[in-house]
Amino acid sequence: MTMMKRKKAPVWSKRAAAAAALMMTAGGLLAACSDEGGKPSSGAGSEKTVTLTFETSLYAEAPHKKAIDTLISMYNEKNPNVKITVHGADYENFWDKLTTEVIAGTQGDIVQVYPENIATYHSLVDGGAFVNLDSYIKGKDPEKKLVGQELSKVDGSYYAISNYAWGNTGIFYRKSLFEKAGIDPGSVRTLEDFKNAATKLGVDTNGDGKLDQYGFASVVGSHPFVASEWYRLVARPVSGGIFFPDGEAGPYTADRIHVNSEANVWAAAWWQDLMNNPQATPPGTRDKKVGREMFWNGQAAMNMDGPWFIGMTKERDAKLMDDLGLLPQPVVQYKGKDYKPNPHTNPSVAMISKKSKHVEEAWKFLEWMTSPEAQQVIAGSGMIPSNKDYVATDAYKKDNPLAVQFMEFLNDRYAPAVMDPPIPEQGSLSQIIVNTAQDIFVGKKDPKASLDEAAKKMKEALN
Q: Is 3 part of a structural domain of the chain?
A: no
Residue 401 in domain = no
The answer on 103 and 159 residing in a single domain is: yes
Could you tell me which of 269, 169, 264, 281 has the C-alpha nearest to residue 220? 281
7 within a domain of the structure (yes/no): no
pLDDT at 25 over 70: no
CATH number, domain at 287? 3.40.190.10
Query: How many structural domains compose the chain?
Result: 2
Domain identity same for 236 and 251: yes
Strand partners, 333: 338
The verdict on 222 and 125 lying in the same domain is no
Q: Which amino acid is at 168?
A: N
227 and 334 belong to one structural domain: yes
66 and 148: one domain? Answer: yes
Same domain flag for 147 and 135: yes
Lowest mean pLDDT among 162-166, 184-188, 240-244, 345-349: 345-349
- Interval 30-89: pLDDT, tens: 433 433 444 444 444 446 899 999 999 999 888 889 999 999 999 999 999 999 999 877
Q: Is 115 in contact with 349 (CB distance < 8 Å)? A: yes
Residue 409 lies in a domain: no
How confident is the model at residue 222, as a pLDDT? Answer: 65
- Residue 339 sits in the same domain as residue 350: no
pTM score of the predicted model: 0.76
On whether residue 416 sits in a domain, the answer given is no
Give dist(CA 260, CA 87) in Å, integer.
39
Q: How many CB atoms lie within 10 A of CB 447?
A: 23
In a domain, 236, yes or no: yes
Between β-strands 384-385 and 165-166, what pairing exists: parallel, antiparallel or unpaired? antiparallel
Q: Is 301 within the bounds of a domain?
A: yes
In a 3-state reduction of DSSP, which class is residue 304? Answer: strand
Residues 205, 289 within the same domain? yes
Peptide bond into 80 cis (omega under 30): no
The rounded Cα 234 to chain-centroid distance in angstroms is: 18
CA atoms of 149 and 166, how far apart (whole Å): 11
pLDDT score of 209: 79
pLDDT score for 328: 96
Alpha carbon dihedral 152, 153, 154, 160, in 10-degree steps, equals 50
pLDDT band at 95 (very low <50, low <70, confident <90, very high): confident
Residues 123 and 28 reside in one and the same domain:
yes
Beta-carbon count within 10 A of 229 CB: 26
Residue 173 has pLDDT above 90, yes or no: yes
**Domain range for residue 74?**
14-167+346-392
195 and 317 in one domain? Answer: yes
Q: What burial class does residue 137 get, using C-beta atoms within 10 Å of its C-beta: 0-12 exposed, 13-18 middle, 19+ buried? A: buried
The answer on 229 and 94 residing in a single domain is no
Q: Is residue 405 part of a domain?
A: no
Same domain, 298 and 373: no
Note the pLDDT tens digit of each residue in 103-161: 999 999 999 999 989 999 999 999 999 999 999 999 999 999 999 899 899 989 999 99
CB-based contact 188:312 (threshold 8 Å): no
